[in-house]
Amino acid sequence: MTMRARRLRTSVTSAWVAAAVAAVAVITGGCAASSYQQASCKLTHHSILLLEAQAVPSATFIPCILPLPGGWSYGGSQVRSGVGHIWVDSDQAGAHAVEVKLTRTCDVAGATELRLRSPPAGLRGYQEPAARQPHASVRYFVFAGGCVTERFSFTRQTAPALFDQADQFLGFTPRSVYVHDVREEEGLTLCGAGAPPCARAKRMAISPACKCDPDTMAAGKVFVEWRGAATNTPPAGSFELQGLDASTITEVGEVLAGTKPGRTSDRDLTIYKSTGHAVEDAATASLVYARALAEGAGVKLPL
């Protein structure tokens, strides 16, 4: 899909608004990204922006990064409940030269409203007074259900060329684009703005078509790698295990250690919910690597 964009022009700033992006899939990794594509307005299948859409489900727009000019590089992203954070580094202004934060609300008291030309419906921009941030530039973009705070570590007066460059790569993607693409590609509902409410889990950002119905989960003996799959909310935890009493769940390690029973009868209904655990992955990799060294197996690759 071709990305279409509209440019917002003001007397002191400009921004871009992406109206459509490529199809996306639900991210299955962690809550941080280290490559430019993770936050690009031309989304990849592992976009950090999907996590941002979950972190602030009320937001009708999600900030993204347009192609960066020379001298600029994507610094990283961090997402936690209620906050999505993206930063861009500069070979002149240093790390975190530009920071973009998505939140539910922000305080624009005392800020000057920007004159945007042809903005998307409901989006308004504000400029923080220079007196409050004498060595930085802070702007707010407010819209239904969310606010984006954009901070430059410099001003137009101190670094005019950098300012003009940084003025070009903030973008906004309508959340409805993610809602549509996640539904079409994954068969999931990205609950929140632009989507119907999630009947089974109103506080979850994504509600999937679970592989096991609640009655089956309640009737069976559930085995997992770690109980955190039940005690943590998605995406860290498992959708199917939400609401189950964690004390009734057995970890596979407990069965192997003999501290908890596994299947005890032919009539037992056993359910294994695999969510993975990084410690187990690391331990397994260590054993495989040690054996490969001992047997002279494998091929060394230049990295």
What span, in angstroms and rounded, lies between the C-alpha atoms of 174 and 196?
A: 16
Cα torsion angle, 42, 46, 49, 54, sign: positive
Please report, as a single letter, which amino acid is at residue 121: A
Q: Nearest-CA neighbor of 63 among 98, 39, 33?
A: 39
| Exposed/middle/buried for residue 148 (C-beta within 10 Å: 0-12, 13-18, 19+) | buried
What is the model's pTM? 0.59
| Domains, the chain, ordered by start | 5-181 (no CATH), 210-295 (3.40.50.720)
User: Which run of H or of E encompasses 178?
Assistant: helix 175-186
What string of pLDDT tens digits covers the 303 residues of the chain?
223 333 333 322 233 332 222 222 222 233 343 445 678 887 645 467 888 888 888 999 999 999 999 999 999 888 888 899 999 999 999 999 999 999 999 999 999 999 877 788 899 999 999 889 899 999 999 999 999 999 999 999 999 999 999 998 898 889 988 888 888 877 777 888 888 654 444 444 444 445 566 667 777 889 998 888 888 877 677 777 877 888 889 998 899 999 999 888 878 888 888 877 677 778 888 888 899 889 888 877 776
